[in-house]
Amino acid sequence: MGLIRRHGVRFALGTAATVAFLILFLRQVDLGEAWEEMRQLPGWTLLASLGLILVNVTAMTVRWGLLLEGAGHTVRFRQLFATVAMGRAANNVLPARGGDLLRIESLRETNGVPVFVTAGTLFAERLLDYDPAQNEGNWQWVAGTGIDAQPWFRIFNPERQRERFDADGTYCRRWLPEWGTDAYPEPMVDLSVEAAEAKERFRAASRS
């Protein structure tokens, strides 16, 4: 009975956390606008995106399987694939890469892999992600100068990011003391106008 109660509490807490962060996500995203933009995309682009996601999850599964085998634990590909897919999905909702914690707990529950072993393989994944051959593309993605895995209609808005994550201006004043004072120059562009222009250009390029 104690085991059932423990699983019940764990499930309830996990569900509550997921729902809470999903609500926060939905409050910040205009789903209507995103859906309208997606409807205008050629069908093949959506299929290609799903295909790339499948390839990415498959590659992550193979890599994780090799790391686990190196630690002395063999897990079926099917089980690993489902766990990786679950973790990737959860990372889009939970903070601090919470999906990785789900991966650790999933393998412990289903395959008896010790927590420290799974955590070690995830740490090894981070080290592999540091590989310069991969980092070249990763840093381009972060900087917004390379191939972006996100849809073209998602335009980064630095002012909105500042409002969400630096509401009191601590970071801005740390690196730009003039921010918020009369010495700070007026905006050179209207972000909403420029975003609309960028979307129109990307839309035209996707149709050509």
Distances in Å between the alpha carbon of 46 and those of 53, 118, 152, 157?
Answer: 11, 33, 12, 24
Residues in the chain, pLDDT under 70: 1-18, 20-22, 24-26, 28-29, 93, 95-96, 128-154, 208
Collapsing DSSP to helix, strand or coil, 116 comes out as: helix
Question: How many CA within 13 A on the CB side of residue 121?
Answer: 27
Per-residue pLDDT at 164: 83
Per-residue tokens: 177 = 């003391």
**Residue that the structure tokens 């509490």 belong to:** 9
Tell me which residue has tokens 């090799």: 66
Structure tokens, 68: 């686990």
Say what the pTM is.
0.51
Sole residue written with tokens 């889009």: 92
Q: What DSSP character marks residue 190?
A: -
